[in-house]
Amino acid sequence: MLRASSEHKGEVYDLKAVLGAAAGDSGIPQGGLLVAFAEAVLGADDERLAAARMGLAEALGDEALVDAAAVVANFNAIDRVADATGIPVDAERLDLTADLRAELGIDAFAASRT
């Protein structure tokens, strides 16, 4: 959705940030902080998480921190369900997502070959 909505609005984001392949904010306001927070949430370093949480709260406020935590949790859950069940990409979405999958290298992931 981010890709489609950003294209509709004429905004440009470097979605390689989700794979750690882009530097800076990737065109997303406070994107670097958001990526650092998401990575810390999914990691095992409590100090890194505390620092990321504090940085995000200071930059965007407590409500944004809660929103970011909810997004990370939701994406993590959806990803785990998809991986666990082997949900394939719908046939009608294969053509629509081909360029994005190629740009991000998603087709090289082991799960994409099952």
Provide the residue range defining the domain that includes 97: 2-107
In a domain, 52, yes or no: yes
CA distance 31 to 23: 10
For the chain, what percentages of helix, strand and coil (3-state, to nearest 5) are there? 75, 0, 25
Q: Quick one: pLDDT at residue 67?
A: 96
Given this model, what pLDDT does residue 1 score? 46
* Residue 113 domain-assigned (yes or no): no
- 114 occurs within a structural domain: no
Report the domain count for the chain: 1
Give the closest residue to 48 by CA, choosing from 63, 58, 38. Answer: 38
**Alpha carbon distance 36, 18 (integer Å):** 10
**Side chain identity, residue 25:** D
In a domain, 98, yes or no: yes
pLDDT given for residue 66 in this prediction: 97
Give me 22's structure tokens: 């882009």
Question: Does residue 112 fall inside a structural domain?
Answer: no
Output the pTM of the full model. Answer: 0.63
Residue 24's pLDDT is what?
59
Count of C-beta atoms within a 10 Å radius of residue 16: 14
- Per-10-residue mean pLDDT of the chain, 114 residues long, equals 65 67 67 89 95 96 96 86 80 85 79 56
- Domain assignment present for 102: yes
